[in-house]
Structure formats: structure tokens, C-alpha cells
Amino acid sequence: MQYEPTIGLEIHVQLSTASKMFSGAATAYGGTPNSQACAVDLGLPGVLPVINAEAVRMAILFGLAIDAEIAPRSVFARKNYFYPDLPKGYQISQFELPVVARGHLDIATEDGETIRIRITRAHLEEDAGKSLHEDFHGMTGIDLNRAGTPLLEVVTEPDLTCASDAVAYMRALHTLVRYLGICDGNMQEGSFRCDANVSVKPIGSTTLGTRAEIKNLNSFRFVERAINYEIERQVELLESGGKVVQETRLYDPDRDETRSMRSKEDAQDYRYFPDPDLLPLDISKVQIDAMRELLPELPRAREQRFEHTLGLHHADAVNLARDRAVADYLEATISAGGDPRSAANWILGEVFGAMNKDGMAISEIPVKSEMLAELLSAVSDGTISGKIAKEVFEAMWQGEGRAREIIERRGLRQVNDTGAIMAFVDQVIAANPEQVEQLKSGKDKVLGFLVGQIMKLSKGKANPQQVNELLRQCIFD
Amino acid sequence: MDNSSPDIEAIARLARLAIDPNDVPQYQDAMQRILALVAQMNAVDTAQIAPMGNPHDLGAALRADAVSERDNSAAFLALAPATENNLFLVPKVIE
Amino acid sequence: MEYTTIAQMSAALAAGTVSSVELTRAVLDRIGQLNPELNAFITVTPEQALAAAHDADRQIAIGKHGKLTGIPYANKDIFCTQGVRTTCGSRMLENFIAPYDAGAVERLGTAGMVAVGKTNMDEFAMGSSNETSYYGAVLNPWDKGCVPGGSSGGSAAAVAARMVPMATGTDTGGSIRQPAAFCGISGLKPTYGRVSRYGMIAYASSLDQGGPMALTAEDLALTLGAMAGHDGRDSTSVTRDAEDFTRLLDTSLAGLKVGVPKEFFAAGLDAEVGEAIESAIGVLERLGARRVEVSLPNMSLAIPAYYVIAPAECSSNLARYDGVRYGYRCSDPVDLQDMYVRSRSEGFGNEVKRRILVGTFALSHGYYDAYYGQAQRIRRLISRDFANALAQADVLVGPTTPSTAFRIGAKSSDPIEMYLCDVYTTAVNLAGLPGASIPAGFDNGLPVGMQLIGKAFDEATILQVAHQFQQATDWHQRAP
């Protein structure tokens, strides 16, 4: 019997609001434990939740970006269960009436096909706190700083059929939420967390198999490995006559396996009911239209425009469109006069290299887009060679000024004068008779050596194409 | 609606309450009386009526996204039965 | 003490005849005398009270005071009061010192009132007799063998015994009105959303409302003026223009239509109570009001619906009492579940546990629609009934309770009997309307209360009827 997998993903997107979903405490990561947990977050007697307007706006923006229905009226509901990181003994979430319903995200599979993943719903809820299990004399420590942080839970239909598509979807969603400015996407800090529902069924069957839920996957790599492991595990189980149990599992990256969680939610009855402290959330057409005006060009559209309109290679278009700030930088460079392909190469090469070395985000780098454009034009108009340009770039990065200033100050202008170059060529031919003979007798590699000598003599400033031409002329003509 | 009597012990588990086995019959009895009282609701057909949560049928009020709370952890932790290193302590949670 | 009402004390303070410190001392003395027996107070705060009284006197001296400045009062122990123990009548919060003030308490403080302590109540506001309090029962000052009513029994007794001129209460199914009736005082449950619920420990969120308990309609109006108002920290709190609730007090009742729902006079009503209320309605008619017969056809469904909605909401609201961050934690818990179960089972009393169980069941899988869903639909039916009745009348009147105060221990065995005390009051909470109880007579030495129900946000008309009634009668001036 051959089996095929069915996968659905539930991704918790932590919204990048300044304050919490239902209180005015700060959401910044990494504070002293419990320093950002106010009375409302702690569930003290008598406190009440109040909805964060920005979280609602972010949810609307997301819904529009995935072509979804924005509910004109949605309801916050209580999900009741006991756990120490859940201060009120219930989580405020949305159940029957979520704010966003029925959207989709188109993704590119490994084979380059485009498939549409249906998104069932996205709803607003609050995050729980954290349990620290290091030994406090056999006790567990609870930090409620994270309790109350706004989450948008995005749920797909079980439309995914392999781990790599699941990762592609996850990446596309990650890019999208960062594009929209609603989430910083920092997976190490827990801003973007994935639960995967995995089941297998006989090929061609229309009945879905029993699924297992793998919780809290916080890297693309782990998602792929965990899903693949789980598929294999379930197939083996079924093939040996066993049954898949509906349960929650955790992925152990050290052993590369999924394990059944000792249930904190065994046969849980969450007793959802509309939260009587919060009235229904009404969203008007006017509000939705206002948010629609704020939608940026979405990642996929931008990627396609980079490829088809700007003429970039597909892989480059993908890499440059992935981060909105980078894409903006590219387009600003082009607006300032840079050639698209050169700009693309420089950004992917020198700019990214320097950024990574110094650990900077593109918004922080010293070489602004107009400065890069100026450098690119100095290369394209022959003022300097590509190689010298790298030296100029480094100087710009160190804050020495703009491209043209540096070129003048350091005397880096390319030598284009044929006469001057001929002088260098003659000098090198005269100084290297052996190599000249070797070249004449067919050893092409020696050309490189001779060119190198000429470049050295000219302190790198001779126009390399001219050097090549003139050298050949002298030797072979 | 299921007419069999509710399992008091199962409900108590959901609510994290312990009912002394000797008291279970008493709770069971009280529960049954209350459910009999409540069953009077079914005298009316409400199929065409919308549920009412808030008596004024109002919509939610929203607040601006601003940080309005400062660190008050010392005061809050002082209320707790057990704390260490600014954390609330509970008996170990096994996962 | 010669002054018993806020209005009297206010006038005397303004005239300089008495100081706030003197009033406060007199109040504290009287509490010291009477409380050991009546048990109306759980906590008395003499130092804070006197400090506030000194401040009030300073304000009065420089002419920067309002009608309520310097007047002593008490808060039901369900309101969080900063730096002061707030128990909610429960062992669960026996040592809980609230780190903040409730919104309503802040407002009364801003108005210059002097808080003297926290009054006793049924545990977590669940009860109609103040017998479920962990801190002992409260005695009815009219007959110490009888209950004062509940859950605001301590506040009612404190006012009836003239310990304080006003005490705050909360009302979810009748918990201000019923004890006001049993203790022969005036009590008002405002329209839902009028008074902030922030810092008012939640029992049933969609029904709870805080309000004043005092000796006269005028005092209720003055107090409501300070307590009411939008609070951004409570999403269910309504925004309305500032209002003077005393504005109609002196307006004649001529032409006012008083609706009398026939369901309030059906089987179950004590004959003597019925007669007293009929006489009281007669007084209103003599004052110029016109009696209109109305009907609330679905009234009998109010108690069943209430006993689904309130326990359901409370089962969730009380989940936060888990021994983790504050409140009672059992000793030497073996593991986490043991800590939860023992802390909650030892911290809560039986009535609270019963309601949590009912509520948990009503929300559980497979039962939600038949119970909670159905109750919410009944709620809309009841609301419509009131809207229809109030389209034909300006206020509705009837008895607050089917009988006068019962003996302590008389209704402890069957919870249903206790629940039926609230038969005339609960529907008002379900509809979110304002309701008041004022003294309207006696039966065998025990007070009888008349309930007045108004249109949404029309407390002023209820207070007008109450005040005019109190100008023509003296029930409210009788003291135990």
C-alpha cells in the first residue's frame, strides 16, 4: 500500500504592536521576568481586558493581503483550561467568528510550479507566559512578560502534500508578514511559531487519515525534518498494522524525531463561550477600504516585477524581493540612476557581504541607495573599473564620503588613454620576454599573468578591456 | 439535551475541584435540582431569537496602542505565595 | 449621632456645624459598638479613614469641596481598595491586599468621601442571605435571628444600623435590591454599564453592576452621581454625557405612568407583602401617578436563565484563583495538579463550588447550546418583554422580594429555595435595566421593599418616584 501525506499548518504570528493585546503593558522582548506583566496580564481580581486597536488594524491588513473576507462582526471567546503560564485560567481567543476568513497564499514549489494554499481563517488571540523548568528546588518558574502579547493565528486547509511545500508556504507567510510590517519574523525570539498537523492516507483516497499535531516548530529546517519524520513514522505504523493516534507531539531536533507529549491537554474540553467582558468587534467597510490603501506591493508581485520588468534573473528576483527594506533599497538605487542588473549584483554581493560582516540591517548601512547609484554610474561611464569600485565601496562603507569624492581624493580614475596604456604594455613585454614567447606559442594562461603585471604597474587603474586588447595586438599582430 | 445525570467527578476535574466522595451525592442532588430548574427554559421555542450577550447590543471599544504600564513587578510579586528571581514559583510542571 | 443621611451630613459640614473628623469618629465608634454582633464589617480602616477625613476638612475649610466631601461610607468587600485587604467574603482572598483601587472607589475618593472599611458579603457575591461568607453570617439589625439578605448583606446591615450613611454594593441577580428590602433601606442597581466594573471582582460579567445603598433616594442620587461614569479600563462601561441624577427628585408624579406587571403578583408572593405593595402603589396614585396594568410574559424563565448564565460566567471568572500568583495556596502541594485542586477546594466554600460545577457543565461540550445558548436567547425575550412594558409606562413597580427576611439557616438545605428569593429581581439584570428597592412597609416587624424598574439609563425617573414616595411616607426613616 502506498501512502500520501496531508499537511495543514497553524502558524502563530506575534504582532509587532508596542503594547499588549488587551493591556497597556509593553511587548518588547527580553525584559526582566515579570517586569512587563501588568495587573491585567496577571489576571488580578477585578481587572478587565481592552482591545488594542493596532492589532485589529494589523489583522485587517493581513486579511486583505491574502484576499480574505474580513468579518464585519467578530467575537472574542474564552478558551478555558488550567496551566500556570495562563494567568486567567482562560485564553482570550476567537472561536466561531474569527476576524479573517477564507483567504489564500500562492507559493512556488520546488519544481517551480505555483500552487494555491487555502487559508481557512486567521484570528486574534493573546499569547501565554513562559514556564522555566530549570531547577528552583524542584519548582518551575513562571514569567508572564509574554502573557497577553497579540497573536494572529493563521490556519491553512490541509492543502499541503509534502514537507518542502509546507516549508515554502511557511517562508512565503514569513516574508508576507514582514512585508506588511505586522511581525518582525524573529523565530529565535518566538515571533513566528508553527504547529503542523500531519496525517497520511492511501494514495487516491479521499478520506483523510488520523492526524498528529506537532507543536512549536520554530525554524524552517525543523519544520521540514519534523514533518518528514512524522510521515515516515505514520506510514511505518500503518504498514505494521498499527493505528495512528490523534495526539500532540513535540519535535526533538537533537534526535531528529517527534515524540508524544505527555498531555497537558488530554481530552481537553475548552468550553468556548463569547467573552462577556469584550463586546463584539465591528469592522466597517470604511475601515477596510482605508486599510486597503495602506497595502504595500506584495512580495510575490514584487518578485515577478523584478524578474519580468526589471529583467533580473529569477533567483536574484526572489532573493531581493524577500525583504521589503532590501527591495525598497534596490528600487531606490534604480531610481537614482543605477542599472537594475548591476544594482542587483552589487546588493547581493558587496552590500550583503558588508551587512553580514558588520551585523547590520539594510536600513542602518552607511552606503545609502543614492550613494550606491553614484558608484554604479562611475563604473558604467568608465570612470573606474569594476575592481576599483570595490575599493571605493569599502571606503564609502567606512564613511570616507561619496564615490566621486573618494575617486578623486585617492586618484583612482581609470586610465583609458591608449597611449598611456601602450606605455605600460611595452614596459611589461620588454620585462617578460619568456612569458611573451610562451604566449606566442599557445600558452594562453600566461596572458593573465601579463595582464596582471600591467594592472600592477598602473596601480590597478588601467582599463582592463583596453589592456587585454592592446596586449593581444602587440603580441599577435 | 442529554438527560442522564452529569458526572460530578468529571466536571470537578475540569474545574480543578475535589469533592469529598461522601459529599458527591449531595452535589449530585443539588446539580440535578438546578438542572431541573434550568430545564424550565425549554418551555419556550427560541429558534428564531438571536442570543443576547450585552444588554445594550453594543460593539467593542478599542484602545490606542500605547505603553501605559510601567514595571510594577515588586508590588505584584509581593502578593504571591512563592517567588524567586522575579519569577512566580509553582510545583514542577512535567511535560 | 444626630445626622443619619448624606444630605444632612453634607449640610452640616458645609455650615461648619460638624467636621469630617468628628463624623468619622462617630461612625467608627458606632461600628465598634455594633459590629461585634452584627458582623457587617470584615475590615475597618480607622487610620486611613481619619487621614481622609482630615484631608476633607482641609478642603472644606478652603471652600474646595462638593456635596460628598467628608462623608464617611463603606465599600462592599468585592471592590478592590488599594493597600487594604479585599477578601470578597472568601478564604481564597483572606490575605489579599489589593494593589489598586476599583474605578468606582477612585471616583468616590475624588468626590472626597471617607472610606471607613469593607463590608461582609456572600462569598464571591453568590448568595441571597450573607450566610455563605467565610467571615461568618451577618445579622439583620431588625431581627438578629434573621438574615439581612445578600450578597450585599454587610452593606445593607451597616446602613440599616446607621453605622454609615452609605455603603456600596453589587447586584448580579438582586444582591443590592434584595438586602435593601430585607433591611428596610434604599438601594439602587444602575443600568448595566453605568458604573465601572474595573476593580469590582467579577462574578457574572454580563450581569454584575455596582451601586449605592443608603437611607434615602436623594442620597442614592448624590452617590450615583459620583460613582457613575465611563471608564476606559472597562470595555462594557458606557459613554454618556455627565448627568445630574437629582434633577427630577422634586418633580411631581402627576401624569407619570406606573406599570404594574401582573406576574409580580402571582403565586409565591406572601399575602402581607402583596398588601403592603398595593398600599404603596396607592400612595403613588395619590401623588398623581397613573397605574397601568402590564405584563412580562416570560418572567418565569428569568431564574432558570440566570442560573445558567451566572454560573457559566463565574466558572470561568473564578478560574484565575489557582494559588499561583496571589490568594490562598494549600500547604505542601505534591505537584501542580494537587496545588490547583487543594487550593481551590480549600479556598472556596460550598455554594461557590456548586455554581462553578453547574457553570462548567453548562459550557461543556455538547451542552453549550442547550444551556448557555438557550439562556442567552431567553435573555433577549425577557429584554423585549421589558421594552414592551416600558413602552406603556415610565417605571414598573412591584415587590422586591416574595417575602420578608427569613431566619438564619432556614434556607440552607435546598439551594433552589434560596434562588427563588430573587424571582422579581433577576429579570432586571438579564435585561440590563436600572432597578431600585425602597422601604414600603412592614410585616411582623420586618421591612418590606418596593421595587422600581426603569428604562435603560433612566435612573433619574426611578429616583424621582422614590423621592416623592419618601416625601409622602416615613418608612425610610424607621430605624431598627
- For residue C336, give the nearest of A47, A84, A278 by CB distance: A84
For range C228-236, the mean pLDDT: 96
> Which residues of chain B make contact with C304, given a CB cutoff of 8 A?
37-41
User: What cell was used for A194?
Assistant: 508553527
In angstroms, the CA C178 to CA C437 distance is: 7
pLDDT at residue A153 in the model: 98
Whether C42 is in a domain gets the answer: yes
> Which residues of chain A make contact with B90, given a CB cutoff of 8 A?
84, 139-140, 142
Q: Which residue has the higher pLDDT, C9 or B57?
A: C9
pLDDT at residue A135 in the model: 66
Contact check, Cβ <8 Å, C360/A84: no
To which residue does cell 434562588 refer? C419
pLDDT at residue A412 in the model: 86
User: What cell was used for A137?
Assistant: 528546588
In angstroms, the CA C335 to CA C339 distance is: 6
Contact check, Cβ <8 Å, C324/A142: yes
Say how many Å lie between the first and final Cα of chain A, rounded.
Answer: 73
Whether C199 is in a domain gets the answer: yes
Per-residue pLDDT tens digits for A290-347: 999 999 999 999 999 999 999 999 999 999 999 999 999 999 999 999 999 999 999 9
Amino acid at A141: G
Whether C53 is in a domain gets the answer: yes
Tell me if chain C has a CB within 8 Å of the CB of A89. yes
For range C142-163, the mean pLDDT: 98
In the predicted structure, residue A13 carries a pLDDT above the cut 90: yes
CA distances to A54, A224, A319, A354, C265 from A66, in Å: 19, 24, 21, 35, 60
Amino acid at C378: I
In degrees, rounded to 5, the angle at the alpha carbon of residue A320 between the alpha carbons of residues A314 and A321 is: 90
Whether C443 is in a domain gets the answer: no
Per-residue pLDDT tens digits for A343-359: 999 999 999 999 999 99
Tell me if chain B has a CB within 8 Å of the CB of C338. yes
Q: Helix A163-179 to helix A220-239 angle, to the nearest 10 degrees?
A: 150
Whether C203 is in a domain gets the answer: yes
In the predicted structure, residue C396 carries a pLDDT above the cut 90: yes
Tell me if chain C has a CB within 8 Å of the CB of B24. no
In the predicted structure, residue A363 carries a pLDDT above the cut 70: yes
In angstroms, the CA A126 to CA A90 distance is: 10
> Which residues of chain B make contact with A140, given a CB cutoff of 8 A?
89-93
Contact check, Cβ <8 Å, B52/C377: yes
Per-residue pLDDT tens digits for A48-89: 999 999 999 999 999 999 999 999 999 999 999 999 999 999
Would you call C170 helix, strand, or coil by DSSP? strand
For range C45-51, the mean pLDDT: 98
Contact check, Cβ <8 Å, B68/A142: no
In the predicted structure, residue A375 carries a pLDDT above the cut 90: yes
C160: left (phi over 0), alpha (psi -120 to 50) or beta: alpha
Contact check, Cβ <8 Å, C235/A84: no
DSSP string, A80-144: E---TT-TTSEEEEE-SS-SEEEEEEEEE-TTS-EEEEEEEEEEEEE---EEEEEEETTEEEEE-
Chain B residue closest in CA terms to C386:
B55
Per-residue pLDDT tens digits for A188-218: 999 999 999 999 999 989 999 999 999 989 9
In the predicted structure, residue A249 carries a pLDDT above the cut 60: yes
Contact check, Cβ <8 Å, C325/B80: yes
Per-residue pLDDT tens digits for C322-370: 999 999 999 999 999 999 999 999 999 999 999 999 999 999 988 898 9
In angstroms, the CA C193 to CA C202 distance is: 14
Question: What is the CATH classification number for the domain harbouring C144?
Answer: 3.90.1300.10
In the predicted structure, residue C468 carries a pLDDT above the cut 70: yes
- Strand arrangement, sheet containing C395-399: C41-44, C114-119, C72-76, C166-171, C209-214, C186-189, C435-443, C446-454, C395-399, C257-261, C290-294
Per-residue pLDDT tens digits for C405-415: 999 999 877 88
- What ipTM does this complex have? 0.96
In C182-210, which positions are buried (b, 16+ CB within 10 angstroms) versus exposed (e)? bbbbbbbbbbbbbbbbbbbbbbbbbbbbb
Dihedral over alpha carbons A351, A357, A361, A365 (to 10 degrees): -60
CA distances to A438, C57, C60, C215, C223 from C18, in Å: 121, 10, 11, 20, 20
Distance from the Cα of B30 to chain C's closest Cα (Å) equals: 7
Contact check, Cβ <8 Å, A46/C324: no
Reported as a pLDDT band with limits 50, 70 and 90, residue B4 is low
> Which residues of chain B make contact with A278, given a CB cutoff of 8 A?
60
Q: Indicate which of B28, B33, B37, B52 best probes the interface with C, i.e. most C CBs within 10 Å of its own CB.
A: B52
The yes/no answer on whether domain B1-44 falls in CATH 2.40.128 is no
For range C135-153, the mean pLDDT: 97
Which of A171, A175, A226, A222 has the alpha carbon at shortest distance from A197?
A226
Identified catalytic residue from C67, C76, C411, C455:
C76
Q: Indicate which of B17, B58, B71, B87 best probes the interface with A, i.e. most A CBs within 10 Å of its own CB.
A: B87
Whether C179 is in a domain gets the answer: yes
Would you call C220 helix, strand, or coil by DSSP? helix
In angstroms, the CA B81 to CA B88 distance is: 8
Identify whether the C-beta of residue C289 lies closer than 8 Å to the C-beta of residue C465. yes
Whether C104 is in a domain gets the answer: yes
In angstroms, the CA B82 to CA A170 distance is: 41
In this structure, are strands A69-70 and C186-189 parallel, antiparallel, or unpaired?
unpaired
Identify whether the C-beta of residue A277 lies closer than 8 Å to the C-beta of residue A126. no
Tell me if chain A has a CB within 8 Å of the CB of B54. yes
In A64-80, which positions are buried (b, 16+ CB within 10 angstroms) versus exposed (e)? bbbebebbeebbbbbbb
Whether C169 is in a domain gets the answer: yes
Q: Where are the alpha helices (DSSP H) in A136-210?
A: 163-179
Contact check, Cβ <8 Å, A39/C102: no
Identify whether the C-beta of residue A45 lies closer than 8 Å to the C-beta of residue C80. yes
Would you call C398 helix, strand, or coil by DSSP? strand
> Which residues of chain C make contact with A269, given a CB cutoff of 8 A?
364-365
Domains and CATH numbers, chain A: 3-287 (no CATH), 297-410 (no CATH), 418-476 (1.10.10.410)
Residues facing residue B13 across a β-bridge: none
pLDDT at residue B1 in the model: 43
For chain C, what is the domain count? 1
For range C198-221, the mean pLDDT: 98
Identified catalytic residue from C151, C237, C315, C403:
C151
Catalytic residue check, C133: no
Residue A373 CA, chain-centre distance (Å), reads 26
DSSP string, C242-297: ---TTTTTTS--TT-EEEEEGGGGSTTS-HHHHHHHHHHHHHHHHTT-EEEEE--T
Distance from the Cα of A321 to chain C's closest Cα (Å) equals: 42
User: What cell was used for A4?
Assistant: 500520501
Distance from the Cα of C422 to chain B's closest Cα (Å) equals: 14
In angstroms, the CA C471 to CA A378 distance is: 97
CA distances to A148, A321, B88, C253 from A35, in Å: 13, 38, 12, 58
Tell me, what DSSP letter sits at residue A156? E
pLDDT at residue A475 in the model: 81
Q: Where are the beta strands (DSSP E) in C143-244?
A: 166-171, 186-189, 209-214
Least confident of A122-126, A228-232, A456-460: A456-460
pLDDT at residue A107 in the model: 94
Amino acid at C111: A
- For residue B92, give the nearest of A42, A139, A261 by CB distance: A139
Which residue segment(s) compose the domain that C160 sits in? Answer: 6-253
Reduced DSSP (H G I as helix, E B as strand, rest coil) percent helix, strand, coil of chain C, to 5: 45, 15, 40
In angstroms, the CA A41 to CA A23 distance is: 7
Tell me if chain B has a CB within 8 Å of the CB of C265. no
> Which residues of chain C make contact with B56, given a CB cutoff of 8 A?
192-193, 238, 432, 456
In the predicted structure, residue B2 carries a pLDDT above the cut 80: no
In angstroms, the CA A356 to CA A354 distance is: 5
Please count the helices (runs of H) and the strands (runs of E) in chain C: 15, 11
- For residue B80, give the nearest of C326, C344, C354 by CB distance: C326
Chain B residue closest in CA terms to A52:
B63
Tell me if chain B has a CB within 8 Å of the CB of A385. no
pLDDT at residue A267 in the model: 64
Contacts 24+ apart (CB under 8 A), A387-394: A387/A460, A387/A464, A388/A412, A388/A414, A388/A460, A388/A461, A390/A350, A391/A460, A393/A346, A393/A350, A393/A354, A393/A367, A394/A354
Please name the residues in contact with A430: beta carbons below 8 A apart, sequence gap of 6 or more: none
- For residue B51, give the nearest of C338, C373, C431 by CB distance: C373
Reported as a pLDDT band with limits 50, 70 and 90, residue A266 is low
Tell me if chain B has a CB within 8 Å of the CB of A50. yes
User: What cell was used for A443?
Assistant: 600558452
Contact check, Cβ <8 Å, B88/C348: no
Catalytic residue check, C76: yes
Burial of residue A31 (CB within 10 Å: 0-12, 13-18, 19+) is: middle
Q: Indicate which of C363, C372, C377 best probes the interface with A, i.e. most A CBs within 10 Å of its own CB.
A: C363
Tell me if chain B has a CB within 8 Å of the CB of A48. no
> Which residues of chain B make contact with C366, given a CB cutoff of 8 A?
2
